[in-house]
Chains A and B, each alone.
Chain A
Amino acid sequence: MAFDIPSLKTEDKPMVIASAFILVILSIGTVYTLSTQGSAPLLSPGYLLQQLQTGSFLGIVAAGMMVVILLGHIDLSVAWTMTAAAMMATTVGGEWAIPTGIAVGAAVGLVNGFGVAYLRVPSMIFTLGVDSVLRGLMVAHTGGFAPQDSATPLMRTLASDRFLGIPSAIFVWLAVSVVIAVMLKRTAFGREIYVTGNREVAAYLSGIRTRRVILGSFVVSGICAALAGVMLAGYSARAYQGMGNPFLLPAIAAVVIGGTRILGGQGRYIGTLIGVILIVLLNSVLSIMQMPEAGRQVIYGSVIISMLLVYGRGNKVHS
């Protein structure tokens, strides 16, 4: 491939290791279920498809998050972007529900992008502020008269129906994945994201409109979060306060476990995909094993650390 990010070997390592780890998780879970109930439901297509279905919401958020992380930025507003998009979508209802939700995401992305690219406030802090503004808006929104919160039939269809026996949410995730992967790899915008993420000043002096690239990336992230929020509302059949909260940290973790450099510039989409599956399965297996919260947190942290330690061998920080 002529235009891959270089040094495929180190880039492939995360995918291979993460994939292997997914197998380890499944084996541990299966050993557990075999010993406690004498069956191996984790290996059944039903269970796996369901994991992919619930994973698709995280997957879509993580896809957007990855684009922003490739720039060396981060989007901490995805939690309430999801919620706001879902709540506005159900409030509006009808056929305009989904477009409204997506528009909310795009608008949030524009605000984030404006703050980060034009005002040059660090994304870590600007998106945090936007997140709390969104939360405030949603509290105020419910604080007036309680809005309609039921998902529209189309939202339900997208998120919880099945098509050819496969949950339709997986198709949506797949579609988003294809779009993001092609965008990153085959479009000028995608390459400009990598270039800007590597060294913004050099990108700027190369005549790349880096501010628009940043703005665009935050819009992508906002739209992805909004889509995930709308889908999640479809899955739960309703939108509610705080519904996006459980997604922020896993999304970041998935991107990083997938081998994307947290400082930007390097990473492949396929890694994020694998990272999402890993996180979803890990959570699910821990839940099945009825692991108490304390153990769950410790395992979660240790997994991330140990995987990164395995990937990171040999990348010296100096120079």
Chain B
Amino acid sequence: MPIDSPIVKLSGVSKHFSGTRALEGVDFSCRSGTIHGILGENGAGKSTLIKILSGVLQPDAGTIEVSGEAVRFSNPDQAAVSGIVCIFQELSLVPDLSVADNISIAAPPRTRFGLIDKRAQNRRAEELLARIKCEDVDPNSLVRELSLSRRQMVEIAKALGKDPKVLILDEATSALTSRDVETVYGLLAELRAAGVASLFISHRMHEIDKLCDMLSVFRNGQHIETFAKGAHSEGEIVKLMIGREVTAHYPPKPAPVPKPAYLTIDKLAWEGQLKGIDLRIGKGEIVGLGGLDGQGQKELLLGLFGVLRGLQGEVAILDNPCRPGSPAEAKSAAMRIALVPEDRKTEGLMLAMSIADNLLAASYDRVSDGPFINQDKARQAVSEGIAKLQIKVASPDDIVSTLSGGNQQKVVIAKWLMTDPDVILLNDPTRGIDVGTKQEIYKLIRELADRGKTILLYSSDYAELIGCCDRVAVMYDGEIVAKLSGGAITEEAIVAASLNVGTQSSLPAAGARHG
């Protein structure tokens, strides 16, 4: 095979879903030994493209060639046989099976009797995990017991184990810690040297920028352009993606004025995962929560929202103690707290219900007269919610799962805004959301702050913390190790604090490569 003939080649591929045109006459190819970034806003068709490539979906029209031979995959297994391996966001790990089981799930090593050889499986898992520097993961532990970032690494190990010729990562790094991201970068470089083609989908520009040799931009189900890195500036790429000019990424921050505390957190502790958190957030202030994944940020948000039992310490709104026992209490008139949860598909939405039902789910008391729902009020509330966030819906009665990722996220946010909260807790609200939508959400967050809301924002993307927040608290091992504000919020400062450099003498092994 000549080195510069494409390993994968799609010609005229189209895919329609009842009414939606997900892909239209797409020609796309990529070559061995490259890292190929795929860009596009939500709903551009990226996932559909790679689902077709990896056999999850079948195209309505068009042909696929692998190494010059026409192929047709009717399931992911067949694609894997041809060397095409896809890492989905977190979809393909089985939580109740062990790490080793998961890594060798479809084609395990077998004993003489044709049964799964557990020991060989464990060895294999250990080797693969070692390759991505995840020796800390016990092959015997259940995937359920791992944090999201560890799960993504296991997912990568699993893909590696299939000896891919084409490795596809669909937002597979969205929850990785920066240390792991480095590892993955290293790995991808290694694979490139070994002649593997990698397809990399991410909404984080800086990742794509750092990593990819080639970039392809998709918009509206069409392939817009493929070019080598550096051929276009970042601004031009964004313009290709969303079809218009983007001026500034983040809305301007107001001048940093010290604000009186509205939400006061004192020595909050929980189960060894929160170790005495002290934090004050003023009215109209956006405070970011940073740090590596799994340092207690989510627990802090959940604790404030009444999900955790056995919290120690004090929380107060103004001077009123505020320790909700449940989300229902948290959203009550006395506290007015809202939480946009981490995983919109499982925690934020009733995917099989209509947009209207999803929007109303938190505010039945507001649209009811006594026990009965007032149809007019409900209709009005729904249309207001849709209008406020400019959610792109054909009809509020459509099922929410028909919306693109970004619009689904807007539904979750709109649901909470309809309750008119004073304190808004956001758990990584822009994960997997395209640049255009991200900007809208940043703008919205700032507007909410300007309207006097108190906002606590956890983000796995430090650029977001820098761009969006008035102050940033960085957490490490259940504690806040740094509070940054104003000009002190820099990439270096956040990264350093995340790794707990400078505040403690002993560097965690994790940080060594970074420092």
Taking beta carbons and an 8 Å cutoff, which residues of A are in contact with B?
A: 2-7, 186-189, 191-192, 194-195, 198-199, 201-209, 265-266
Contacts and interface: CB of A to CB of B under 8 A. Distances in A.
B353 A188 contact: no
Contacts of A201: 346-347
B353 A6 contact: yes
Nearest to B367: A188
Contacts of B373: 3, 186-188, 191
Contacts of A265: 350, 352-353
B372 A186 contact: yes
Contacts of B396: 2
Interface string B388-422: 00000000111100000000000000010001000
B109 interface: no
B341 interface: yes
Interface stretch (B156-164, B279-287, B322-330): B322-330
B398 to A, nearest CB: 7
B398 A6 contact: yes
6 contacts: A187-B368, A187-B372, A189-B371, A194-B353, A195-B357, A204-B327
B339 interface: yes
A106 B35 CA distance: 64
Interface string B358-379: 0011101100100111010011
Contacts of B330: 207
A72 to B, nearest CB: 12
B327 A205 contact: yes
Contacts of B354: 3-6
Contacts, number: 100
Given A2-B379, A188-B373, A203 B361 contact: yes
B378 A3 contact: yes
B353 A206 contact: no
B352 A198 contact: yes
A266 B352 contact: yes
A209 B307 CA distance: 12
Interface in B331-354: 331, 339, 341, 346-354
B126 to A, nearest CB: 32
Given A202-B348, A205-B339, 6 more contacts: A2-B396, A191-B373, A195-B361, A199-B350, A204-B327, A206-B327
A70 to B, nearest CB: 12
Given A3-B356, A194-B353, A205 B347 contact: yes
A17 B357 CA distance: 27
Contact of A206 (B362, B372, B379): B362
Interface in B232-285: none
Nearest to A190: B373
A199 B362 contact: no
Interface of B: 305, 307, 326-328, 330-331, 339, 341, 346-354, 356-357, 360-362, 364-365, 368, 371-373, 375, 378-379, 382, 396-399, 415, 419
B159 to A, nearest CB: 20
Contacts of A188: 364-365, 368, 371-373
Contacts of A192: 364
A2 B397 CA distance: 7
A195 B361 CA distance: 7
A7 B357 CA distance: 13
B144 to A, nearest CB: 15
A207 B365 CA distance: 11
Contacts of B368: 187-188
A206 B338 CA distance: 9
Sorted nearest first, the 5 A-B pairs with minimum C-beta distance are A188-B364, A198-B350, A207-B331, A206-B361, A206-B362
Given A191-B357, A191-B360, A199 B351 contact: yes
A265 B353 CA distance: 8
Given A189-B371, A205-B347, A198 B356 contact: no
A6 B348 CA distance: 18
A3 B327 contact: no
Given A191-B360, A194-B353, A265-B353, A2 B378 contact: yes
Given A191-B364, A207-B328, A207-B362, A3 B375 contact: yes
Contact of A187 (B307, B356, B371, B398): B371
B371 A194 contact: no
A4 B348 CA distance: 20
Given A207-B327, A209-B328, A2 B356 contact: yes
B347 A202 contact: yes
A6 B361 contact: no
Contact of B350 (A2, A3, A189, A195): A195
Contacts of B375: 2-3, 186
Identify which of B330, B331, B364 gathers the most chain A CB atoms within 10 Å of its CB. Answer: B364
B415 A206 contact: yes
Contacts of A5: 353-354, 357
A202 B352 CA distance: 12
A5 B349 CA distance: 15
Nearest to B351: A199
Contacts of A3: 354, 356-357, 360, 373, 375, 378
Contacts of A187: 368, 371-373
A83 to B, nearest CB: 31
A199 B373 CA distance: 21
Nearest to A210: B328
Contacts of A195: 350, 353, 357, 361
A316 to B, nearest CB: 12
A210 to B, nearest CB: 9
A209 B378 contact: no
Contacts of A209: 326, 328
Contact of B346 (A2, A6, A202, A207): A202
Contacts of B328: 207-209
Contacts of B360: 3, 191
A67 to B, nearest CB: 15
A266 B397 CA distance: 15
Nearest to B338: A207
B397 A4 contact: yes
A128 to B, nearest CB: 25
Contacts of B372: 186-188
A201 B351 CA distance: 12
B48 to A, nearest CB: 13
A3 B346 CA distance: 22
Contact of B348 (A198, A205, A207): A205
A205 B328 CA distance: 8
Contacts of A203: 350, 361
A49 B9 CA distance: 69
Nearest to A265: B352
